[in-house]
Amino acid sequence: MQAEQLRDFVVDKLEDLKGRDIKVLDVHDQTDVAEYMVVCSGNSKTHVKSLANHVATEAKHHGVPPIGVEGADSSEWVLVDLGDVVVHVMQESIRDFYELEKLWGPR
């Protein structure tokens, strides 16, 4: 799957489970780690964990197994590394604190 297709796939899967305030950040000029970061909010720890698990499971079923999943134990911030696309699913308070959109957004 190309980076753009994977990005759109991830957004679609987050929308499946009502992920909130989904933002796509094009980071290919800022890092060699990924082409895109997708940031999304969940309503609760359970919602955050469900969103991240859904993305990881569906990606695996479509031939893109996650390189890693971090943070599922606490489920305040779960990162799903799909290579070209890194997904951050966060509780609103954590997202407000770290402000990834400002850190990785357009300069």
- Domain of 59, CATH number, reads 3.30.460.10
User: Do the Cβ atoms of 45 and 76 come closer than 8 Å?
Assistant: yes
pTM of the model: 0.95
pLDDT of res. 106: 73
How many domains does the chain divide into? 1
Distance CA(6)–CA(13), nearest Å, equals 10
Q: Domain range for residue 32?
A: 3-104
Burial of 76 (0-12, 13-18, 19+ CB in 10 A): middle
Taking only the tens place, the pLDDT of each residue in 55-104 is 999 999 999 999 999 999 999 999 999 999 999 999 999 999 999 999 88
Distance CA(95)–CA(39), nearest Å, equals 9
pLDDT of res. 107: 62
Distance CA(79)–CA(68), nearest Å, equals 8
Closest C-alpha among 50, 53, 18, 39 to residue 86: 39
Q: How confident is the model at residue 1 (pLDDT cuts 50, 70, 90)?
A: confident
